[in-house]
Amino acid sequence: MEGGGEKFKKAQRAMKDRSALAYLNDASIITRLKDLKYYQKTMKNDPWIRIIAPEITPPTLRDNTADVDRLIRGIKKCLHIDEVVIDFSLLKRLPHALRQYDYRINAILHKVQTGWRLIDILSSQNDSCIYGLAVDLGSSTVVIQLVDLKSQKTIDKKSFHNPQIEIGTDILTRIHFAAKRGGLDKLQSLLMERLNENIDQLAKMHNIRTDSIVGISVAGNTTMAHFFLGMDPYWLCREPYIPVINKPEHIKSSDLGLAINPEAPVLVFPNVGSYFGGDLIAGILASGITHQDKVSFLVDVGTNAEVVIGNCDWLMGCAGAAGPALEGGVADMGMMAGPGVIDKVVIDPVSSEFKIRTIENDPTVGICGSGLIDLIAQLFLAGMIDLRGKYVAGKCNGRLVEVEGVKHLVVVTPANSGTGQALTLSQTDIDGIIRSKAAMYTILTTITNTVNISMNDINKFYIAGTFGSYIDPQSAITIGMMPDLPLETYIPLGNTSLKGAGMALVSAQAKDEIYRIRDNITYLELNVNQEFMNLFSAAKFIPHTDSALFPSAKTGGS
């Protein structure tokens, strides 16, 4: 650890919880948000998957109603409803189960359009615990969360790398692979097998039968949702960028080969389009912006920059993958978060010493996105790069080296590195970051211009995603990536994809809301926006050509 003072070490210990796997524990982040109280309250009493104990009298000569119809009658009476749907796959098993349990049963059901659909029946003598899974279906990392559907409490979480990475780290490679013979099946089965393994491990660890997992809620980007469903992603990346489906419905776990209760409903978050997926719908749900009068931003700085603006009356969204400057993406700048990865940099204004924090305080092996933003901001403030992001050789204290004609700044020397190699930041890297930050700011400006709202009217700036959670808003403002708003405006939400999936798993109101969000959002197609390229050019300076936009920004040391 270079230049670690006592104060910094204390902060670093406090931050240790926010280590590589800390993003799994984002509940603490979410629950401290006042805006989300709405959900906390309503979710408690509004489940769409329920276990009930209907009263079913055994048959007699005077009441010869058939077994299935007898069960349906009991459920209707118990729930005060008009329709109970039972799939054929479940029907045949029912009479034996009813008699085996002597007509004393618990019934597990979930709400459908006009009534409730039966998932399973259990003996009323048995443990009546039922569980659900919320899934954040990331293209890099998949997180599964086991939820007790009765108490609505999270029991455990588990994350694993998306096994499709072996086909390709980027999603486009996978889409091309899917077009090959058997490719799509391979991608789907890789995912399902790993998912099932992890579900099984989670179930075993908590001593529950996978059959008692009776619902699953899955949020992911549109391509991942297509892979999950085994649907052809071919047209997702080809103009005019059309998904197979926007609102996947009527799916049960056995349709997909999920190793949970075969009749369990599978809620796959709807998408708005190829580049605006269910993960972002989950983010909007989790952020609560649709329940606020004032206008907020929700930004997910992942592989793409996805931006939503709106309030309880309207919503507009766009996704950065449609913006040419974001090709290659922010995430290409460094490594994914993990032990030894730099996530915070401070350059001492006096000594020009680099104070570097790595995750879990391990020897430095790389730098993640939030670390890069810090680094660029600090380099600018120290005058080591200029307004255009170019290295100022005289300010770099001999840290600059030239490799194949490109300037590189040595951030960590081989002696201090965990890899034995120097960690360097090239001019090309910086140029990439500048393009990305310019794209982000341009998207934010384009969307506010489109809806005719001033940046100063933004009440909250929610930052979704693991990567986003670690961004220091001050650094992001310094480089002109995010608007110059009071720091308290910025609220990191952590893994909103998982949080949204969890909310929709336990609350009918939340589940209904994701479809309302989807149907009401206006998608701003950046590809066809003429203003974008002009704004983009102006945003390629640090912080911006128009310094009036960043009144609080410190100037660089140049």
> Which parts of this chain interact with its own copies (CB under 8 A)?
59-62, 64-69, 83, 85-89, 91-92, 94-96, 113-114, 229-232, 235, 239-252, 255, 271, 273-274, 523, 525, 527-528
Which of 257, 557 has the CB closer to its own copies?
Answer: 257
The kind and range of the H/E element at 475 are helix 473-478
Instruction: Please state, as a whole number, how many other Cβ atoms lie within 10 Å of the Cβ of residue 420.
Output: 8
Which of 25, 254 has the CB closer to its own copies?
Answer: 254
Task: Report DSSP state, residue 170.
Answer: S
Nearest distance from residue 16's CB to its own copies, in Å? 44
In the three-class reduction of DSSP (H, G, I as helix; E, B as strand; rest coil), residue 465 is classed as coil
Which of 252, 437 has the CB closer to its own copies?
Answer: 252
Question: What stretches of 209-289 adopt beta strand conformation (E)?
Answer: 213-220, 266-268
Nearest distance from residue 31's CB to its own copies, in Å? 35
Which of 67, 120 has the CB closer to its own copies?
Answer: 67
Reading across the β-sheet that carries 490-494, which strands appear in turn? 490-494, 460-464, 296-301, 305-310, 315-319, 521-523
Which of 33, 68 has the CB closer to its own copies?
Answer: 68
Which of 115, 168 has the CB closer to its own copies?
Answer: 115
Cα four-point dihedral sign 257, 260, 262, 265: negative
Pick from 71, 33, 2, 42: nearest CA to 504 = 42
Which of 415, 528 has the CB closer to its own copies?
Answer: 528
Nearest distance from residue 115's CB to its own copies, in Å? 8
Nearest distance from residue 60's CB to its own copies, in Å? 5
Cα four-point dihedral sign 278, 280, 281, 287: positive
Cα within 13 Å of Cα(91), Cβ side: 9
Which of 252, 435 has the CB closer to its own copies?
Answer: 252
Cis check: omega of the bond before 233, within 30 degrees of 0: no
Which of 258, 301 has the CB closer to its own copies?
Answer: 258
Nearest distance from residue 232's CB to its own copies, in Å? 6
Q: Count, in order, helices (H) and strands (E) of the chain.
A: 18, 21
Strand partners, 417: 364
Nearest distance from residue 368's CB to its own copies, in Å? 33
Contact by Cβ (8 Å): 367, 375: yes
Q: Tell which phi-psi region holds residue 221, choosing left (phi > 0), alpha (psi between -120 and 50) or beta.
A: beta
Nearest distance from residue 125's CB to its own copies, in Å? 22
Which of 138, 273 has the CB closer to its own copies?
Answer: 273
Nearest distance from residue 89's CB to its own copies, in Å? 7
From CA 385, how far away is CA 541, in angstroms rounded? 11
Cα four-point dihedral sign 540, 541, 543, 547: negative
Strand partners, 403: 406
The kind and range of the H/E element at 156 are strand 153-161
Which of 59, 168 has the CB closer to its own copies?
Answer: 59
Residue type, 124: S
With both helix axes pointing from N to C terminus, report the angle between 427-451 and 531-538 in degrees, rounded to the nearest 10: 130
Pick from 107, 117, 96: nearest CA to 252 = 117
Work out the angle at residue 307's Cα, subtended by the Cα atoms of residues 304 and 312, and round it to the nearest 5 degrees.
150
Nearest distance from residue 122's CB to its own copies, in Å? 19
Nearest distance from residue 530's CB to its own copies, in Å? 14
Which of 60, 207 has the CB closer to its own copies?
Answer: 60
Contact by Cβ (8 Å): 492, 301: no
Contact by Cβ (8 Å): 134, 102: no
Nearest distance from residue 239's CB to its own copies, in Å? 7
Question: What stretches of 485-526 adopt beta strand conformation (E)?
Answer: 490-494, 521-523
Largest CA distance in the chain: 99
Which of 59, 324 has the CB closer to its own copies?
Answer: 59
Nearest distance from residue 67's CB to its own copies, in Å? 5
Nearest distance from residue 95's CB to its own copies, in Å? 5
Nearest distance from residue 511's CB to its own copies, in Å? 17
With both helix axes pointing from N to C terminus, report the angle between 496-506 and 278-287 in degrees, rounded to the nearest 10: 80
Which of 255, 546 has the CB closer to its own copies?
Answer: 255
Instruction: Please state, as a whole number, how many other Cβ atoms lie within 10 Å of the Cβ of residue 292.
Output: 16
Cα four-point dihedral sign 23, 25, 31, 36: positive
